[in-house]
Amino acid sequence: MRAELLLTAASPRKKTVALALVAGLALFSAGVPLYLSSIEQDLESRTLERARQLEPLVNGVSFAGQDGTIFCSSPVEYPAQLLRGLSALDGVHSVVADRSCRVLRAPTVDGSSTATIPSTTETPQPTTTLGSIVRETTTTEALPVSNDELLLSVLESDPELTTMARLALTAGLDSRLGDVVIVLAPVDGAFDEFGADLLAEIETDVASTIALVDMHVLESVDSPRINTADDVTTVDGYAQVIEVLDVGDRQVWLLDSVLQADGTGVLPLLEIELTNSTLQITGSHVSEEVLDAVTSIAEESGRTVERRFGSTSDDTMLDEAQVISLNAIERLLRAMIGSLETGVLTLADTGTSLAGSYLDENRAASLTAVAQSVGAEVSLAPPAPLGSAEIDALNDDIVELLIGKPVSFISGSAEFVWGSDGVLDEIAQLLVDVPGISVVVRGHTDSDGVPESNVQLSTDRAAAVAAALIDGGLERLSVSWEGVGSAEPVIIEGVEDKELSRRVEIIVLAA
């Protein structure tokens, strides 16, 4: 249970009061209960008065010794600043906020859409501000007005996020939020797996700190890194979301584990993730040489480069070259682009690894051979099957193409009317990189003529269309065809429409 915000910074004057209290207890031990009660009542009175000046929602204060707790009629907007103002009072050692003062939280992420992005409507300005008291006014110093400041305030004020808050400060997260909608914040206990030495090493290396912090930001609740099953939400397959904080137009997700690029507890030297539109670079060290090479390969394939975390160094490939050469990285990336739906190339001190889902078995075998030739470990999986909605969308796209550019045959033959088969190449390009599908081509005729001849003609026409699709790049084993003659006519109002009956269908199915 986390019910309070803790602030423990002690000023010299507090220490003086504390020493005086110790002396008083030593000299007047017989009057300890009365003495403590008097101190607590004084602190409660002064703290409540100050709290109401700073935040009208505060409706109660309780002290045990010099440690106080405030209570609120509803959650306050800027708890960290409020606690700072109260902890500065003479005689106060620390002040925490009861859960009644805390930012509203949800117990977990909504399973229907992973998370609900808060409204981006501008937050109204608070009616009270923190600062010095001026006669007949409450303040002169304004509270933060930006959502960036609010988010960092929440990190800083939460007693279970002290490590993440410290790392975020070192990494300059406030200047790097940009389009970020979710900050993933491991609780302090999650960092225990690092050990003190590794955590200290990361914190003393700004590049490593930035890499780690940037691993914990998301620009969309639809990120493929998020998975929700059985009402449990995880990130990167292993870090469980404990709690969700709505903070302005963003969210903070509390995690039970620290996210790392390779999941081993040590940041990799370099990681490159392949998607259908990007090459995303992560890692504790990214040299200009690597960045230039990846950018060039991305442009060749029509992709963009996203540097998600880490810093660019003027150093050469010394660190990476101890694991694998730049030439080998380029070979692997080009092979990945031609063979994988999605994939990740990771360079760590322990070696090089490649993982992903392949487009087909032949290309998977080719990529495996390239990876093994440079000493990389390979872990490939078949592509996930497409859902019915995705299959339907592909078939709809094919229908639209054929309506706009119909394919025609010379009467009584399987020979295309000159130029009418160009659309088949467009269809092949639409399907060539879609994993986990098969294509069935079915030929039909009208009811005129001999049934046996109609079956043969429809089969020949289906075969001609299938051959054009294969020539366009589709795998031979993924394409089949058949002719059914006049067995499936198009009937309109009880009468065969012979023109519509003469057709060839291209049907996409899940493999």
Could you confirm whether domain 270-381 is CATH 3.40.1520.20?
yes
Q: Are 62 and 19 in contact (CB under 8 A)?
A: no
SS3 60: strand
Facing residues of 313 across strands? 287
Q: What is the CATH number of domain 104-259?
A: 2.30.180.10
The pLDDT value given to residue 78: 66
The pLDDT value given to residue 282: 75
Residue 242 carries which DSSP code? E
What is the number of other CB atoms lying within 10 angstroms of the CB of residue 358? 23
- Residue 55 confidence (pLDDT) above 80: yes
pLDDT tens, residue by residue, 379-416: 998 877 778 888 999 999 999 998 888 888 998 999 99
Max mean pLDDT range (209-218, 246-255, 310-319, 393-402): 393-402
The pLDDT value given to residue 103: 53
* Tokens read off for 67: 């440690």
pLDDT tens, residue by residue, 271-284: 888 888 888 887 65
- Residue 113 confidence (pLDDT) above 50: no
The pLDDT value given to residue 454: 93
- Report residue 161's pLDDT band, with 50, 70 and 90 as the boundaries: confident
Helices (H), 441-485: 451-471
Top-confidence residue, 6 or 235: 235
- 231 CB contacts (<8 Å, ≥6 apart)? 108, 111
Max mean pLDDT range (33-37, 164-168, 202-206, 311-315): 164-168
DSSP, residue by residue, 67-136? EEEEEESS--S-HHHHHHHHHTSTT--EEEE-GGGSPPEESS--TTTS-PPPP-SPPPPPS---S---TT
What is the number of other CB atoms lying within 10 angstroms of the CB of residue 510? 12
Top-confidence residue, 293 or 287: 293
- 286 CB contacts (<8 Å, ≥6 apart)? 270, 307, 310, 311, 312, 313
Q: Are 337 and 356 in contact (CB under 8 A)?
A: no
- Residue 80 confidence (pLDDT) above 70: no
Superfamily of 388-510 according to CATH = OmpA-like domain (3.30.1330.60)
- Bridge-based pairing state of the strands 250-255 and 239-247: antiparallel
In angstroms and rounded to an integer, the radius of gyration of the C-alpha atoms of the chain is 33
- Residue 37 confidence (pLDDT) above 70: no
The pLDDT value given to residue 12: 38
Give the whole-angstrom CA distance, residue 43 versus residue 21.
13
Please state the φ and ψ torsions of residue 116, each to the nearest 5 degrees: -105, 120
Top-confidence residue, 355 or 29: 355
Give the C-alpha distances (Å, rounded to integers) separating 4 from 7, 75, 128, 305, 319.
Answer: 10, 12, 22, 42, 45
Closest CA to 386 of 431, 459, 436: 436
- Report residue 440's pLDDT band, with 50, 70 and 90 as the boundaries: very high
User: What H or E segment, with its residue span, contains residue 61?
Assistant: strand 58-64
* Tokens read off for 442: 């079915």
Top-confidence residue, 189 or 424: 424
The pLDDT value given to residue 368: 92
Q: Are 284 and 261 in contact (CB under 8 A)?
A: no
* Mean of pLDDT values over 162-175: 85
- Residue 231 confidence (pLDDT) above 50: yes
The pLDDT value given to residue 487: 92
The residue with tokens 């409706």 is 59
Max mean pLDDT range (59-68, 120-129, 295-304): 295-304
* Mean of pLDDT values over 151-171: 84
Give the whole-angstrom CA distance, residue 488 versus residue 236.
49
- Domain boundaries along the sequence of the chain: 1-102, 104-259, 270-381, 388-510
pLDDT tens, residue by residue, 427-439: 999 998 787 789 9
The pLDDT value given to residue 359: 81
Give the whole-angstrom CA distance, residue 4 versus residue 72.
12
Give the whole-angstrom CA distance, residue 96 versus residue 294.
49
Closest CA to 160 of 70, 242, 86, 38: 242
* Mean of pLDDT values over 46-64: 87
